[in-house]
Chain A
């Protein structure tokens, strides 16, 4: 019996296809009240006064709280510290739960008051009765503008709006020498635009204080309930951790945005005790745009130097990363250790340096969004590669192949030490590109393209070959880099007396299908049926501890913790089996759910041994009863998935509309447990990456208004924007975790964006358009063509 490697259909699907999923907003407790957060309409303004009297008197209103009511509570903390180059600590201004009178609001959507009422509608109605006197100030929304002298200040304690400045790689002298030696330098000035994560389930939080037990329960849309509990208890509300239960029930997608601890989670818990009733808050979509942490938002100048042969000799980068108004939970790590450290890409570049500034602006906080830093690194490298190929008259695929790091398996050959701190685990980069070329039919495509051009049709092909650092992360390594938490994972494997198995994992599924994939692993390793395995996650009362799901870590880290516990179960089980079989432990082997004395037909089954462990009448002397083990697994390295994405587009030069004809993705995510689920992860990531290239982008006007904060205005990828995807895999196992897995959650989103942009640029080569900002809307493509077409003006 083997489940590993099979496309087993998901056990969780039944409840979702029948409408029986239980998401946070589905929960209704007796006596429950509804909270509405009144949010600032201004990006930068001082609150001179708030008059709550009319709102308080309104029908159905239970309570109105302002920043003054929660001023004694510490704000939500940041979980990662990145210092200035000179060693001084980053600027870490407080992020209060609500802005108090006399203080300034710092972005549109900043919380100003919380109205609690008997119904959702009553709470919203009362919001109109709140009288708030604001004194409005100029705002700054662009990171590069924010660090200029004279820009409006977001926080008085952060001069020039700098949270930190940072560099990694060789010295300025070394990189300048390398670039000076180059025969050709390709330069890109670009914006990697701000993205709204847009999990389809809006955030929601339900707090309940139980007076009888003096305990608290928070149901919340979280990717990591234990981390939320830790932050809530230790840093924000100062509650005893053992008296707080945090549950993340079914969660409707996260993509990073539900990692972070948000103010509303603390507010509903605090308010529930204050009013003695349960309090639920659920975000509207517009609130989601204004308050869910955004992603990306880099302004970058990138230069790649080549020798006369086309070998890369240096990479010099300057970036300003817009962090928004407050430092969100992992914000400082994203542009630095998840971005700067990936700039080696797949290439043997000998000298690399990035200088980066993290800037405060009057905008929503920016943090990890699917891929987190790695898409930005990939975009930069892969755009440079294609642009350089055009400039040097080389083939973009050949230019990559020529510069790839040679294959290494990480076992018989050592890992690859990059110039930017990381050591890649194992890789065979030529293989993914060669497979991609084969799938797309590269030579035939170039012929078709030439013929089409002759007929006035503009086809383009774009490449992207990426690497990412996943399986986040070795605690000691990230600790040295500024993480304020460990990034291990925990797992408990509890064998019930009847041989059924409950697994408690600290990973959290919000679409990834852990209840299936993890059960496949457990069932295989124990030789039992999948139906006999249950995966429990998302409840701090059930699962002892956990670090949650993000950074494509669940199977690589959480799965490894499960394997450790299974090993302990089998080790103890063998002792019981040996006793029952009157044999030596060393003479036993375990397969197909039973222990057999080698070379005989004497055996005892897993269920038998389980029962004996709980009914230990005839039992090995000195052995404890029970069969229940917990483990923590802390990885020794990141994992490094890689791949090749190829986009084929046709640009309608009359309208500027880009049609994505084909998308080919060859990904190497190490060993695969469930190919169907891995493909699904890739598909979803591709759609998000393609969305960034063609459709999406958060827009602020100069006053700090988020002008496209709804689905009427923010263009989400829809079914008819996308083709059927063509996917394949190569398999280079991870050498340092027991399952050999690397992680698949972010790959699609990391590789795809530059492939699409490169394809459009390839299509537009005849017009001399070498560069275009994302999203490449029909209007921007049309304008670019017009600006290069003689006799026409845009």
Chain B
């Protein structure tokens, strides 16, 4: 049985019929073809699939598409198409990415952190990244990228 859902993704309303078991991450990737959101595990432990639902970072592999019905979802594609968001700039300036696979999830998690805590300490950044795995960078430059963005945006609220 298919269930109708209407989800606002990156400011655009998408209405579809979905299977009850369809995960939001597959809905985004396969149906809406927003492939910037990645899948790195089967156990909701890697954070590659992190998006924002109603302005909170959520692992989209733990959410059913039907649960997102009526919600406002932001994916990496919705952050800024031209890489101008301070986190996108920070990740480039501080070499916070290598293969780029974890990067969308890292950036969405970091943006959630900076919305809650615009001036996090190194320790707070590392704790906030607890749910995101990167195999390439050793996190050193990811921490610096987030520090860079925090500095850029120290007076404004970093959001999307």
Contacts and interface: CB of A to CB of B under 8 A. Distances in A.
Contact of B36 (A10, A20, A25): A20
Nearest to A712: B43
A729 interface: no
A688 B135 contact: yes
Main secondary structure on chain B at its contact with chain A? Answer: loop
A201 B130 contact: no
B138 A511 contact: no
Nearest to A683: B138
Nearest to A20: B36
Interface string B25-59: 01001100111111111110110100000000000
A710 B41 CA distance: 8
Contacts of A10: 92, 95
Interface string A163-204: 000000000000000000000000000000000001111100
B153 interface: no
Contact of A19 (B75, B97, B139): B75
B19 A18 contact: no
Contacts of A121: 19, 21-22
B92 A21 contact: no
Contacts of B80: 18
A716 B133 contact: yes
B135 A720 contact: no
A284 B33 contact: no
Nearest to A26: B35
A719 B143 contact: yes
A199 B43 contact: no
A432 interface: no
Contact of B91 (A13, A23, A28, A711): A13
Contacts of B129: 718-720
A375 interface: no
A404 interface: no
Interface residues of B, number: 62
A199 B133 CA distance: 10
Contacts of A722: 126, 138-140
Nearest to A285: B41
Contact of A683 (B30, B122, B132, B141): B141
B160 to A, nearest CB: 12
A684 B137 contact: yes
Interface centre among B33, B42, B75 (most CB of A within 10 A): B42
On chain A, which size bracket covers the interface?
35 or more
A12 interface: yes
A140 interface: no
A17 B98 contact: no
B86 to A, nearest CB: 11
B125 A200 contact: no
Nearest to A22: B35
B77 interface: yes
Interface string B109-128: 00000000000001101110
A202 B36 contact: no
B100 A16 contact: yes
A686 B95 CA distance: 16
A683 B19 contact: no
Contact of B140 (A7, A13, A284, A724): A724
B135 A18 contact: no
A282 to B, nearest CB: 8
Contacts of A716: 133, 135
A266 B130 CA distance: 37
Given A21-B36, A710-B45, A719-B126, A252 B138 contact: no
A713 to B, nearest CB: 9
Contacts of B141: 679-680, 683
B133 A677 contact: no
Given A200-B135, A513-B98, A17 B107 contact: yes
B75 to A, nearest CB: 7
B101 interface: yes
B101 A719 contact: no
A285 B81 contact: no
A675 to B, nearest CB: 10
Interface centre among B19, B39, B41, B130 (most CB of A within 10 A): B41
A725 interface: yes
Nearest to A12: B100
Contacts of B104: 16-17, 19
A14 B92 contact: yes
A99 B80 CA distance: 48
A10 B30 CA distance: 29
A19 B76 contact: yes
Nearest to B80: A18
Contacts of B98: 253, 511-513, 680-681, 684
Contacts of B122: 724
Interface centre among A17, A19, A286, A681 (most CB of B within 10 A): A17
A120 interface: yes
A255 interface: yes
A511 B102 CA distance: 11
Interface in B71-98: 75-77, 79-83, 87-88, 91-93, 95, 97-98
Contact of B46 (A251, A680, A711, A719): A711
B75 A200 contact: no
A652 B26 CA distance: 44
A21 to B, nearest CB: 5
A200 B34 contact: no
Contacts of B39: 25, 202
B42 A286 contact: yes
Nearest to A23: B101
Given A16-B97, A20-B36, A250-B100, A718 B130 contact: yes
Nearest to B128: A719
Given A20-B77, A23-B38, A23-B101, 7 more contacts: A17-B103, A19-B104, A201-B38, A250-B100, A285-B43, A511-B99, A717-B138
* 9 A-B pairs with the lowest CB-CB distances in the bound complex, closest first: A19-B36, A16-B100, A252-B101, A511-B99, A687-B138, A511-B98, A19-B76, A683-B138, A711-B45
25 contacts: A12-B100, A16-B103, A18-B80, A19-B35, A200-B102, A250-B100, A252-B99, A253-B98, A255-B135, A285-B41, A512-B98, A683-B139, A684-B138, A687-B139, A688-B135, A710-B41, A711-B41, A712-B43, A716-B133, A718-B132, A720-B127, A722-B126, A722-B140, A724-B122, A725-B138
Interface of A: 7, 9-10, 12-23, 25-26, 28, 120-121, 198-202, 250-253, 255, 284-286, 510-513, 676-677, 679-681, 683-688, 710-712, 716-720, 722, 724-725, 748
